Amino acid sequence: MSSTSVPGSPGKGEATYDDAERRLLLGVAVGSIAHGLARRVPLVPDPRDYPAALRAVRATFVTLEIGTALRGCIGVLAARRPLVADVAHNAFAAAFEDPRFPPLAPAELHRLTIHVSVLSPPQALRCDSRVDLLAQLRPEIDGLILEDRGQRGTFLPSVWEQLANPADFLAHLCLKAGLAADHWSDSVAVSRYTTESFAAPAAELLDDNVTRMQ
């Protein structure tokens, strides 16, 4: 599955990773961006250097912000790489390959806030109608994938912060997928997922990395 860009910053999820593991993942993200600035390719971490929880195959999104403004967001919906490798890949892509933004400039690195979202496996929703789907949605919890007629779109759970009404959330997701806002058909496929998300300023993470190397 190709990388996917989405609006917004990551949403909320249940805690699976402890503070040290979260910090390691955020460090991998900023390290991959710094590596990209220096060498134009992402960092390729060796999963054997990380705790078992970070070696598991998981899907992630990495979101970059400067202040409150989005600066890049790239991720995958299907787990296919060890967690640390997926974070490194998506951090680089968010910084340099999000088609909505120019590649990150060196002067921007220390201004970033880096968010990592680890996705749960998507679960298909059985729904007989648009009304049925709306009744099943869990605001602020569900990320949603909508597919039909060869089109697909996804929203991370945090998009609920901008679109709190389920009808608005679904309408904008249909539009993002290239469908009519009120689209529905018997062939619509909908899946939901949750995210565990955490963030830190890039400057702080870079300081951490320097300290660990000393």
pTM, two decimals, is 0.87
> CA distances (Å), 153 to each of 99, 169, 174, in order?
16, 12, 7
Q: Are 175 and 69 members of one domain?
A: no
Residue count (the chain): 214
pLDDT at 42 over 90: yes
What CATH code is carried by the domain that includes residue 73? 3.30.700.20
CATH number, domain containing residue 169: 3.30.1490.150
Asked whether the predicted pLDDT for residue 152 surpasses 60, the reply is yes
One domain, residues 12 and 67: yes
Statement: residue 15 has pLDDT above 80 = no
Does residue 40 carry a pLDDT above 60?
yes
Whether residue 201 is found in the same domain as residue 157: no
In sequence order, what are the residues at sequence separation of 6 or more whose Cβ sits closer than 8 angstroms to the Cβ of residue 73? 5, 6, 7, 8, 9, 61, 62, 63, 64, 94, 98
Q: Is the pLDDT of residue 13 over 70?
A: no
Average pLDDT taken over every residue of the chain: 91
Please tell me whether residues 85 and 28 are part of one structural domain. Answer: yes
Q: How far apart are CA 40 and CA 60, in angstroms?
A: 21
What number is the average pLDDT over the span 115-130? 95
pLDDT at 211 over 50: no
Q: What range does the domain containing 95 cover?
A: 4-120+195-213
Same domain, 103 and 127: no
Whether 155 and 200 map to the same domain: the answer is no
Work out how many domains the chain is built from and give that number: 2
Provide mean pLDDT across the span 161-167: 96
Q: What is the pLDDT of residues 18-33, one digit of tens each?
A: 999 999 999 999 999 9
Residues 181 and 152 in one domain: yes
Q: Which residues contact 42 (CB under 8 A, 6 or more apart)?
A: 32, 35, 36, 88, 89, 91, 92, 93
Whether residues 93 and 186 fall in one domain: no
Contact 174/153 with Cβ under 8 angstroms?
Answer: yes
Per-residue pLDDT, 14:
56
Q: What are phi and psi of 74, to 5 degrees?
A: -140, 145
The closest alpha carbon to 3, from 61, 72, 84, belongs to 61
* Residue 109 sits in the same domain as residue 135: no
Does 43 share its domain with 142?
Answer: no
